[in-house]
Amino acid sequence: MSTFKAPKGTYDLLPPDSAKFLAVREAIAAPLKNSGYGYIETPGFENVELFARGVGESTDIVTKEMYTLTTKGGDELALRPEGTASVLRAALEANLHKVGNLPVKLWYSGSYYRYERPQKGRYRHFSQVGAEAIGAEDPALDAEMIILADQAYRSLGLQNFRILLNSLGDKECRPVYREALQSFLRGLDLDEETIRRAEINPLRVLDDKRADVQKQLVGAPVLRDYLCDACKAYHEEVRALITAAGVAFEDDEKLVRGLDYYTRTTFEFVHDGLGSQSAVGGGGRYDGLSEMIGGPALPSVGWALGVDRTVLALEAEGVELDIPAATSVYAVPLGEEARRVLFAKVVELRKAGVATDFSFTGRGLKSAMKNAHRSGARYVVVAGERDLAEGQVQIKDMDSGEQEPVALDAVVAELQRRLG
């Protein structure tokens, strides 16, 4: 019988690589925890309608990429393809916007699912860290979001990423632009599906990656020329605040992002070392999303950064993360009596906060020392019958190769002292 394999387009995260993913998640979360964002976790699946309404009927995500299922009770559910709609739904359901200060600031981390054509950097199951600030319309909040993501990437040592920035206008000026863009698109030679998309949401066509479509889009009306005074002023303030914080960005008038709910500020983090899948993260303001999913008017802004993509970007730049060894001390017993005595010491060391592992299965010294080396431990504690008879153990420093006896009763304190 053949063994099972991970489903197509997915991957298993295994040690030692998984330590890199954890470090990336923690680095992205650190500036958020430091800026008033609380952690939120939502279910891996939601009502289909939440994404159809929230993400948008015309998006590829809803029309082609969502994993949907009908439960035995007849409910239509979808595996979450993105985080914002779920987080906003949870915040509304718990009335977070009524119980505390606005904005409600939340961060999350988890797996998301899209039925896509698998390629390097684009999987059917992927991991993101995201942040949402719900219930406030303030250019400083948009700037904070961009600055925190920039800080997270810089803390990892990433350098060759760029921040693209645009404004998508609001419900006052976007309809005027939409009309102008639609009449321009109607004059082009486009396939049926693209024509249909242009009628539902013409901005999606600007995001089309096909060269023959991009060629025809030369001379298309530009949103910047249609922004109302309020949106222009808002966007200028966001730009000024980011600039004052020393964060570099590029204006990109074609940037629309793949979701229908964005208004005003929209941004993307791209890395040129990743080939066609250059976006490592992005986000923007979504002032109308709350009403779309049945809530009150709650202007909000957020982003999501891809953990998988960020790891690829680090690899592309040759950045090695400084990940400390998971194990500091490795215990090697020689003989039955030593197994019992040393195992008790391992438990004691762990309780004292020292990362300690044990040579299980009672293999010989040579094999156990190989395992100790692989574990990355700085110190190895070895004990045989003669050592125990003399009330001591041997501590070996794996860096210097030096070995010395230490009294059994003093071994925990001695290792704590050495490890600082």
126 within 8 A of 308, measured Cβ to Cβ: yes
10 annotated as a binding-site residue: no
Compute the mean pLDDT over every residue in the chain, rounded to the nearest whole number: 92
Q: What pLDDT, on a 0 to 100 scale, did the predictor assign at position 391?
A: 96
82 annotated as a binding-site residue: yes
> Which residues make Cβ contacts (< 8 Å) with residue 352, sequence separation at least 6?
412, 416
Position 256 confidence tier, pLDDT thresholds 50, 70, 90: confident
Q: What is the dihedral of CA 392, 398, 403, 409, to 10 degrees?
A: -20
Paired tokens of 109: 């981390």
Per-residue model confidence as pLDDT tens digits over 362-386? 778 999 999 999 999 999 999 999 9
Position 260 confidence tier, pLDDT thresholds 50, 70, 90: low
261 annotated as a binding-site residue: yes
**What count of residues does the chain have?**
420
84 annotated as a binding-site residue: yes
Q: What is the mean pLDDT of residues 3-19?
A: 93
pTM across the whole model? 0.89
**Where is 180: in which H helix or E strand?**
helix 174-185
Tell me the three state secondary structure of residue 278: coil
More confident residue, 359 or 200: 359
Q: What is the dihedral of CA 294, 50, 298, 43, to 10 degrees?
A: 120
Position 258 confidence tier, pLDDT thresholds 50, 70, 90: low
User: Which pairs count as long-range contacts for 176-180, CB under 8 Å and 24+ apart, including other chains?
Assistant: 176/226, 177/221, 177/223, 177/226, 178/202, 178/203, 180/221, 180/226
Residue whose token pair is 């009150």: 296
Position 401 confidence tier, pLDDT thresholds 50, 70, 90: very high
C-alpha to C-alpha distance for 383 and 395, rounded to whole angstroms? 9
Superfamily grouping for domain 17-173+227-317: Bira Bifunctional Protein; Domain 2 (3.30.930.10)
Q: What pLDDT, on a 0 to 100 scale, did the predictor assign at position 107?
A: 98
Q: What is the mean pLDDT of residues 20-36?
A: 97
C-alpha to C-alpha distance for 374 and 68, rounded to whole angstroms? 43
Q: What pLDDT, on a 0 to 100 scale, did the predictor assign at position 257?
A: 67
* Dihedral sign for Cα atoms in the order 219, 220, 223, 228: positive
Per-residue model confidence as pLDDT tens digits over 35-79? 999 999 999 999 999 998 878 776 777 878 899 999 999 999 999
- pLDDT above 70 coverage of the chain, percent: 98
Q: What pLDDT, on a 0 to 100 scale, did the predictor assign at position 393?
A: 97
* pLDDT higher than 80, residue 181: yes
Domain ranges in the chain are 17-173+227-317, 329-419
Lowest mean pLDDT of 28-42, 114-128, 403-417, name the range: 114-128
* pLDDT higher than 90, residue 223: no
C-alpha to C-alpha distance for 280 and 305, rounded to whole angstroms? 6
Position 272 confidence tier, pLDDT thresholds 50, 70, 90: confident
Per-residue model confidence as pLDDT tens digits over 83-121? 999 999 999 999 999 998 899 999 999 999 999 888 777
* Dihedral sign for Cα atoms in the order 250, 254, 260, 261: positive
Pairing of strands 161-167, 263-271: antiparallel
C-alpha distances in angstroms, 115 versus 6, 49, 64, 205, 231?
A: 15, 18, 7, 21, 35
Q: Does domain 329-419 have CATH number 3.40.50.800?
A: yes
262 annotated as a binding-site residue: yes
C-alpha to C-alpha distance for 213 and 195, rounded to whole angstroms? 11
37 annotated as a binding-site residue: no
The distance in angstroms from the start CA to the end CA of the chain is 52
83 annotated as a binding-site residue: yes
Q: State the helix-helix crossing angle for 17-33 and 139-155, rounded to 10 degrees.
A: 150
114 annotated as a binding-site residue: yes
E strands in 145-209: 161-167
C-alpha to C-alpha distance for 284 and 84, rounded to whole angstroms? 11
Q: What pLDDT, on a 0 to 100 scale, did the predictor assign at position 58?
A: 63
C-alpha to C-alpha distance for 94 and 190, rounded to whole angstroms? 45
DSSP string, 303-319: EEEEHHHHHHHHHHHTP
